[in-house]
Structure 1
């Protein structure tokens, strides 16, 4: 497929491989994926997305790519930068489980070896230390802040395990 896709700015000038109906079927088996065909591209999901200005493709475009069977959707920023705030899901007039679909896409991408390098490190750091990075004492001193309080990392790990936000299917 070499033509651009209608009015979608993100698609303009991009060349895609052939549509893959099997990929669309695979996506439809994801949590919430059964609702994929209900999307009529109103873009309410994209309009309310807090990361929409940080990604290379909007969430409604991700939905269209999945429906068209374009595997390149697994390589988009949106899959990994979604903040899981569920705003898209709450705004969707069709009740599509968009955030759950993105979790599924993340698992698919991970299984295919499509994972941003920083994601694995950040995920491990959060689980191991409870922080994405370790603040230094001099930074806190410069800002006249109290020392970082101690906390029980095991409680944090239990919470993260319960939320399952730190687990991809491959980890289980």
Structure 2
């Protein structure tokens, strides 16, 4: 998946989108690694959560091609343990939303073919159900 987000001269667009969607200020992260140390899935991630946040802050390319935010289960262990009070699970959810929105508006789940549903990352379906159920 390629990204259409451009890095501008000050703050990059991806960082701005993540902060707007998550409600988190990523500059608060001081890279202590507590989030990664508490994550039950850290061994499967291609970039640990604190490193992912640093990549976002620096505007490094390839962030949306990472698997870290798809592997994140949203268990909130990282968020609960963060000494700076960052809700890292919300940051991961924001990255998933940005990836899913890259192609524009998406149809409702009932409009997708069974084969297309099978191709979606499971966390995308879970997150959608969480947001759309009352």
Normalising by structure 2, we get a TM-score of 0.69
Task: Show structure 2 runs of 5+ residues with no match.
Answer: 1-5, 104-116
Change (3 A) 1:42 1:29: same
Partner of 1:120: 120
Residue 95 of structure 1: SS of its match in structure 2?
coil
SS of the residue aligned with 1:30?
A: helix
Q: 1:46 corresponds to which residue?
A: 36
Match of 1:32 in 2: 23
Post-superposition CA distance 1:75-131 (Å, at most 9, x none)? 111110101110000110000111011111000011225xxx96617469x88xxxx
Instruction: Check the 8 A contact 1:23/1:70 in 2, yes or no.
Output: no
Q: Which has the higher contact order (CA 8 A, sep 6+)?
A: 2
**1:1-172 matches, cutoff 5 A:** 20=8, 21-33=12-24, 35-112=25-102, 120=120, 122=122, 161=129, 163-164=130-131
Looking at structure 1, the residues matched to 121 and 83 of structure 2 have their Cα atoms a distance apart, in angstroms, of 36
1:165 deviates by 7.7
Q: Which is greater in Rg?
A: 1
* Distance in 2 (alpha carbons) for counterparts of 1:107 and 1:43: 24
Flag structure 1 segments of 5+ consecutive residues without an equivalent: 1-17, 128-159, 167-172
Runs of 4+ more than 4 Å apart:
121-124
RMSD of Structure 2 on Structure 1 (CA): 2.9
Secondary structure (helix, strand or coil) at the match of 1:164 reads helix
TM-score by length of 1: 0.55
